[in-house]
A and B are shown apart, each in its own frame.
Chain A
Amino acid sequence: MNPSMAGSLAEPDYLNHETTVRSWLLTRDHKRIGVMFLVLVIFALLLGGTFAMLLRIELLTPGPTIMGPMTYNRVFTLHGVTMVWLFMIPAIPSAFGNFVLPLMLGAKEVAFPRLNLASVYIYAAGAALTLFGMVWSGADTGWTFYTPYSTTSPTAVTPILLGVFIIGFSTIITGLNFITTTHTLRAPGMHWSRIPLFVWAIYGTSVIQVVATPVLAMVLVLVALERVAGVGIFDPTRGGDPVLFQHMFWFYSHPAVYIMVLPAMGVISEVVCAFSRKNIFGYRMIAASTFGIAFVGFFSWGHHMFVSGQSTFGSGIFGVLSMLVAIFTAIKIFNWVATMYGGAIDLKVPLLYVLGFIFLLTFGGMTGVAVATTSLDVHWHDTYFIVAHFHYIMVGSVLMAFLAALHYWWPKMFGRLFPERWAFVAACTIIFGFIVTFLPQFLLGNMGMPRRYYQYPSEMQWLNVLSTAGASLLAFGFGLIGIYLLWSLRYGKVSPASPWGSRGYEWFSASPPGPHNFREPPRFEREVHDYTVSEAPHVY
């Protein structure tokens, strides 16, 4: 037992220095807020996952299986809405960003602690309104809310629109908070060139959130107004333009893909260093490509609309710009693999998820290049190929990184170790299950199965059955993770301050950290993830 851990045991940590319900609900501690977000997004993941499982069971047979078409349409909408807005967008920034970003910067708190608390409640309020809409009658528009279907559908689209609108504020606030924190609260020694890559990723994400989310908010309000008051912005019989919605929606929702993926990439950069025991290869390239993605991401929305009747020239421009996003992503992938070169690699569970991440991102990214190729997209647009592609790139990366982060920072957050062997089995199940679920969907798309299909031609059945089998594996893997993590909270081995031997700055604090993060102000005298010398762990 090392002395620093004995010290941290004696002192109160952020979990036990106050234990009343009130102290949690009114906390301004970024760590507790991070934990609250973690609980909320995991709940959202379970909800969205349940919907996904229902969809997959329905698709076991070509015709009706367990539900009617209306129920199916609602379920896929709710699956999309829950996963995108309640899970993937807030998951990593709001939960792990809140927890580790101030620790990484050596700060006691985020810049606006009260606003940070507000963002939890705004998220919860938005989620509650969305859930209310689901229970009331559930939208059947798909998570994309395309007009004019969304403005004429008889289902409860409006509460869900408003719920998402409210969640948008939570996103904006969190983004503002992180930007300000990064600018103003860095500890001594933390130059811009030493900022951990996870912070860079969150910073880039925050910029997108602050710039793009208002556009989403605006368009959602317009759809709601159109539904309630019939203002005629998207209704052609009143002189409106239904395609206008798609432009405005994708102006947010395409960059939103990077809101989801960039923080995931940040996690990967941290984890790959920690378990390779290596400095990151090409620090500046990774940081710069983050902003490359953030910037170009704003100019590629039109690749969602190659067959919507937009100009052929416009499609060409959007196609080229989409290729650039792939380039920036490729830079990161090369650098992560290069980081492993010459390292001292320990294949622990978080690194296993990184490998899953790299595989899914590479394959998902390459199919993204394929879809950005205009002539091919005509066949693939709105088919299961697209479904498979965005599940690989968005879900694959967010899920893998979320699980990597969860396992990597679990000892930091709760001071306990999880059972490594069970976690290894679960990780293998999840990665394998994911591939079995979505690889057949690429082939279904090639065959021409459009997305959001309740019934499909019978020759497509066996691929759908395969996909459902994979989804069951995924569900099993998640169940396993849930069980051993809950178990470890109580019975897990008490973790040392830095269980992985990581040189990330966040491990300068105790695990779990005290209420004010550090006992004495930390100084960062070396670069992050510098493993050139063996160093005795120093906990500030």
Chain B
Amino acid sequence: MNEFFRQVLFLPEQASTFARDVDHLHYVILSTAMFMATLIFGLAGLFLIRYRRRSESQATRKVQTSLFWEVLFVGSPLTVFLAWFFIGYHDFVWMQTPPPEAMDVYVVAKQWMWKFTYPEGPNSIGVLRVPVGRPVRLLLTSRDVIHSFYVPAFRVKQDALPGAYTQTWFEVTRPGRYRVMCAEYCGLKHSEMWGEVVALSPEDYAAWLREQSAGPVALRDATPGAPERDEPLVPARLAMEYSAEAPHGELMTAERGTLAERGERVAAEKGCLRCHTVDGTAHIGPTWWGLYRREERLEGGGTVVADEAYLTESMMKPQVKQVEGYALVMPSFQGQLDAAEVAALIEYIRTLRGARRDDIRPGGPVYEPIDGR
């Protein structure tokens, strides 16, 4: 019966502990909705035929309502609606209350990607690996605008707000790969902001975690200046069945280290740091310390706020808006930096700020762990 209704209503598979209960209420409410709409419409149709007009001057008698009918009309739907509400609210409270034994994963949403960070250390972009049969609590935040973390197969959705943490949780019931989508409109590539949850058996998950915290990968994370190894990156989006032509532009990669750390490496590789300092001291070019969102005076008058747009422009066309007091010696990096590298550099520059330094550095949990762990 469950399977029949699920397919008739085009619901996705039920891969979390909530899914089945939520769906059952769903079946009841939608069948009632359809039944009531048909009933009322059928009644109207019946009256249409039974009481059709027979002559142009036909008079009708006045029908007045009695209290009994009024109470019945109001009372019966109210009772039904409230019953649904309380069943639904019971489930909702369950869905809103992470159990104490849940493991934590931090989720940072950003135009247009999902970053997952585990308290144990590893992090990834686009792919969230979780063990089956264990509650997972997600702590969500956003770097820019509001996003919404949505896994249809789990019946789970939660907004990720900038400047705040929200939480949700789920427990996957069977291994597999499940699509993550962004449900809150967040700009140009809103419909491409996909990721996936890979549910592994507890053993596979433990093995993956071990692998992540050992060997050269860990070493590289510990020393951000170390050269990046030339290993093939895992394209997170390849997991999707989506196959329209060149669907996503740039492939998102599941790589190690935060974007800011990558930016630090890019800056070293491309020679940015020969002219720019990161600690506030003056050099050939303006220092990057506190540069992000700083108002710069320009050669030839005017000011500019050093936001993402300006920083990108300066990398590509340094001569257009030249900061006052510096010679025009910077070459254009047009064609030498790809979009991901630009993003990484900007992200790195963003971290070089007094006030925001702490909360941007991937320093680990901002929330206290749940009691009892």
Within 8 Å CB of B246, what residues of A? Answer: 63
In-complex Cβ contact of A383 among B54, B162, B183 (8 A) = B183
In-complex Cβ contact of A307 among B22, B60, B158 (8 A) = B158
Within 8 Å CB of B185, what residues of A? Answer: 73, 141-142, 146, 149, 382, 451-452
Interface mask (B41-70 → A, CB under 8 Å = 1, otherwise 0): 101110110011110111111110100011
User: Once the chains bind, are B48 and A152 in contact (CB under 8 Å)?
Assistant: no
Q: For residues 135 through 193 of chain B, which have their beta carbon under 8 Å from a beta carbon of chain A? A: 144-146, 148, 150, 152-153, 155-159, 161-164, 166, 179, 181-192
Closest A residue to B154 using CB positions: A379
Q: How many angstroms from the CA of A111 to the CA of B285 in the assembled complex?
A: 70
Within 8 Å CB of A451, what residues of B? Answer: 183, 185
The distance from the CB of A329 to the nearest CB of chain B, in whole angstroms, is 10
User: Once the chains bind, are B81 and A327 in contact (CB under 8 Å)?
Assistant: yes
Within 8 Å CB of A64, what residues of B? Answer: 244
User: Once the chains bind, are B32 and A366 in contact (CB under 8 Å)?
Assistant: yes
User: Once the chains bind, are B155 and A342 in contact (CB under 8 Å)?
Assistant: no
Interface mask (A366-380 → B, CB under 8 Å = 1, otherwise 0): 110110111110110
User: Once the chains bind, are B60 and A278 in contact (CB under 8 Å)?
Assistant: yes
Q: State which of B9-17, B266-274, B327-335 sits at the interface with chain A.
A: B9-17
In-complex Cβ contact of A534 among B59, B93, B95 (8 A) = B59
Residues A63 and B166 in contact in the complex (CB < 8 Å), given A375-B89, A450-B181, A459-B241: no
Residue B208 at the chain A interface, CB threshold 8 Å: no
Residue A281 at the chain B interface, CB threshold 8 Å: yes
In-complex Cβ contact of A374 among B12, B92, B158, B190 (8 A) = B92
User: Once the chains bind, are A532 and B12 in contact (CB under 8 Å)?
Assistant: no
Residue A345 at the chain B interface, CB threshold 8 Å: yes
Q: State which of A124-132, A188-196, A318-326, A400-408 sits at the interface with chain B.
A: A318-326
Q: How many angstroms from the CA of A502 to the CA of B228 in the assembled complex?
A: 82
Within 8 Å CB of B63, what residues of A? Answer: 278-279, 281, 338, 341-342
Question: Which interface residue of A319, A335, A446, A451 has the most chain B CB atoms within 10 A?
Answer: A446
Residue B118 at the chain A interface, CB threshold 8 Å: no
Q: How many angstroms from the CA of A373 to the CA of B28 in the assembled complex?
A: 12
User: Once the chains bind, are A376 and B25 in contact (CB under 8 Å)?
Assistant: yes
In-complex Cβ contact of A363 among B34, B158, B159, B187 (8 A) = B34
Q: How large is the interface on A (under 10, 10 to 19, 20 to 34, 35 or more residues)?
A: 35 or more
The tally of CB-CB contacts under 8 A between chains A and B is 291
User: Once the chains bind, are B40 and A337 in contact (CB under 8 Å)?
Assistant: yes
User: Once the chains bind, are A282 and B65 in contact (CB under 8 Å)?
Assistant: yes
Question: Which interface residue of B22, B96, B183, B186 has the most chain A CB atoms within 10 A?
Answer: B183
Question: Which interface residue of B21, B59, B187, B190 has the most chain A CB atoms within 10 A?
Answer: B190
Closest A residue to B29 using CB positions: A370
User: Once the chains bind, are A363 and B37 in contact (CB under 8 Å)?
Assistant: yes
Within 8 Å CB of B84, what residues of A? Answer: 369, 373
Residue B222 at the chain A interface, CB threshold 8 Å: no
User: Once the chains bind, are A319 and B85 in contact (CB under 8 Å)?
Assistant: yes
The distance from the CB of A19 to the nearest CB of chain B, in whole angstroms, is 36
Residue A443 at the chain B interface, CB threshold 8 Å: yes
Residue A458 at the chain B interface, CB threshold 8 Å: yes
Residue A277 at the chain B interface, CB threshold 8 Å: yes
User: Once the chains bind, are A373 and B85 in contact (CB under 8 Å)?
Assistant: yes
The distance from the CB of B74 to the nearest CB of chain A, in whole angstroms, is 6
User: Once the chains bind, are B166 and A309 in contact (CB under 8 Å)?
Assistant: yes
The distance from the CB of B215 to the nearest CB of chain A, in whole angstroms, is 36
Within 8 Å CB of A326, what residues of B? Answer: 77, 81
Q: How many angstroms from the CA of A242 to the CA of B74 in the assembled complex?
A: 39
Residues A378 and B157 in contact in the complex (CB < 8 Å), given A447-B11, A452-B190: yes
Within 8 Å CB of B156, what residues of A? Answer: 378
Interface mask (A58-87 → B, CB under 8 Å = 1, otherwise 0): 000111100001100100000000000000
Question: Which interface residue of A149, A338, A452 has the most chain B CB atoms within 10 A?
Answer: A149
Within 8 Å CB of A359, what residues of B? Answer: 37, 41
In-complex Cβ contact of A330 among B77, B161, B242, B244 (8 A) = B77
Residues A346 and B60 in contact in the complex (CB < 8 Å), given A337-B47, A447-B10, A457-B240: no
Q: At the interface, is chain B mostly helix, strand, loop or mixed?
A: mixed
Closest A residue to B73 using CB positions: A334
Within 8 Å CB of A243, what residues of B? Answer: 161, 164
Residues A376 and B77 in contact in the complex (CB < 8 Å), given A343-B47, A363-B34, A366-B37: no
Q: How many angstroms from the CA of A332 to the CA of B48 in the assembled complex?
A: 18
User: Once the chains bind, are A346 and B53 in contact (CB under 8 Å)?
Assistant: yes
Within 8 Å CB of B40, what residues of A? Answer: 333-334, 337, 358, 362
The distance from the CB of B129 to the nearest CB of chain A, in whole angstroms, is 21
Q: How many angstroms from the CA of A375 to the CA of B91 in the assembled complex?
A: 6
Within 8 Å CB of A342, what residues of B? Answer: 51, 60-61, 63
Q: How many angstroms from the CA of A450 to the CA of B159 in the assembled complex?
A: 13
User: Once the chains bind, are B157 and A379 in contact (CB under 8 Å)?
Assistant: yes
Within 8 Å CB of A372, what residues of B? Answer: 85
Residue B243 at the chain A interface, CB threshold 8 Å: yes
Residues A446 and B10 in contact in the complex (CB < 8 Å), given A146-B185, A307-B159, A366-B36: yes
User: Once the chains bind, are A340 and B51 in contact (CB under 8 Å)?
Assistant: yes
Within 8 Å CB of B95, what residues of A? Answer: 375, 378
Closest B residue to A347 using CB positions: B48
Q: How many angstroms from the CA of A2 to the CA of B229 in the assembled complex?
A: 95
In-complex Cβ contact of B22 among A315, A335, A376, A452 (8 A) = A376
Residue B78 at the chain A interface, CB threshold 8 Å: yes
The distance from the CB of B218 to the nearest CB of chain A, in whole angstroms, is 33
Q: For residues 364 through 416 of chain A, which have their beta carbon under 8 Å from a beta carbon of chain B? A: 366-367, 369-370, 372-376, 378-379, 381-383
User: Once the chains bind, are A355 and B88 in contact (CB under 8 Å)?
Assistant: no
User: Once the chains bind, are B48 and A379 in contact (CB under 8 Å)?
Assistant: no
Residue B226 at the chain A interface, CB threshold 8 Å: no
User: Once the chains bind, are B163 and A320 in contact (CB under 8 Å)?
Assistant: no
Residue A454 at the chain B interface, CB threshold 8 Å: yes
Closest B residue to A342 using CB positions: B63
Interface mask (A138-158 → B, CB under 8 Å = 1, otherwise 0): 001110001011001100000
Closest A residue to B82 using CB positions: A323
Q: How many angstroms from the CA of A285 to the CA of B53 in the assembled complex?
A: 26
Within 8 Å CB of A140, what residues of B? Answer: 187-188
Within 8 Å CB of B92, what residues of A? Answer: 306, 312, 315-316, 374-375, 378
Closest B residue to A326 using CB positions: B81
User: Once the chains bind, are B159 and A309 in contact (CB under 8 Å)?
Assistant: yes
User: Once the chains bind, are A457 and B184 in contact (CB under 8 Å)?
Assistant: no
Residues A62 and B89 in contact in the complex (CB < 8 Å), given A69-B188, A453-B191, A532-B59: no
Residue A113 at the chain B interface, CB threshold 8 Å: no
In-complex Cβ contact of B43 among A63, A337, A343, A375 (8 A) = A337
Residue A308 at the chain B interface, CB threshold 8 Å: yes
Residue A228 at the chain B interface, CB threshold 8 Å: no
User: Once the chains bind, are A457 and B242 in contact (CB under 8 Å)?
Assistant: yes
Q: How many angstroms from the CA of A535 to the CA of B8 in the assembled complex?
A: 54
Residues A309 and B65 in contact in the complex (CB < 8 Å), given A316-B89, A375-B25, A534-B59: no
The distance from the CB of A298 to the nearest CB of chain B, in whole angstroms, is 19
Residue B33 at the chain A interface, CB threshold 8 Å: yes
Q: How many angstroms from the CA of A444 to the CA of B44 in the assembled complex?
A: 30
9 A-B residue contacts at CB 8 Å? A73-B185, A149-B145, A327-B74, A363-B34, A375-B92, A381-B157, A450-B183, A450-B191, A455-B244
What 5 pairs between A and B have smallest CB-CB spacing?
A: A236-B163, A63-B244, A448-B152, A366-B33, A373-B88
Known interface pairs A337-B44, A373-B87, A379-B155; 18 further A-B residue pairs with C-beta atoms within 8 A, sorted by A's residue number: A63-B245, A236-B163, A277-B58, A285-B70, A306-B92, A307-B158, A308-B166, A320-B82, A340-B48, A358-B41, A362-B36, A367-B33, A372-B85, A374-B89, A375-B91, A378-B155, A381-B183, A453-B191
Residues of A within 8 A of B (CB): 61-64, 69-70, 73, 140-142, 146, 148-149, 152-153, 236-237, 242-243, 276-279, 281-282, 285, 306-309, 312, 315-316, 319-320, 323, 326-327, 330-331, 333-335, 337-338, 340-347, 355, 358-359, 362-363, 366-367, 369-370, 372-376, 378-379, 381-383, 443-444, 446-448, 450-459, 463, 501, 530-534
